[in-house]
């Protein structure tokens, strides 16, 4: 699984740390870290919570163009 750099950028845009984002979505920092590193595939429920907090759409954060 590829790294989710879009998520990392969106979090930086909001000036949030992984721990702050984790707290806002009710997850742990390890989970947010694993999503950004592409080591964990989150459920749609968590994706939506992340999008809501970061003010982005699912497409903007989680859509991957086929190569």
Q: What is the DSSP string of 10-58?
A: HHHHTT--HHHHHHHHT--HHHHHHHHTT-----HHHHHHHHHHHT--H
Looking at residue 64, the DSSP 8-state letter turns out to be -
Of the candidates 31, 50, 61, 62, which one interacts with another protein according to CB under 8 A?
31
Stretch that binds another protein, among 1-9, 10-18, 27-35, 56-64 (CB under 8 A): 27-35
Residue 67 CB, shortest distance to another protein, in Å, is: 27
- Using the rule CB under 8 A, is 26 a contact of another protein? yes
Alpha-carbon gap, residue 54 to 57, rounded angstroms: 9
Residues at the site binding another protein, with contacts judged by CB under 8 A: 26-28, 30-31, 34, 40, 42-43, 45-46
């Amino acid at each position: 699984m590829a790294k989710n750099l879009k998520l990392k950028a969106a979090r930086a845009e909001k000036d949030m740390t992984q721990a702050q984002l984790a707290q806002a979505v009710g997850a742990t920092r390890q989970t947010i870290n694993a999503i950004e590193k592409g080591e964990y595939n989150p459920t749609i429920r968590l994706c939506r919570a992340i999008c809501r907090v970061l003010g982005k759409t699912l497409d903007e954060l989680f859509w991957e163009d086929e190569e």
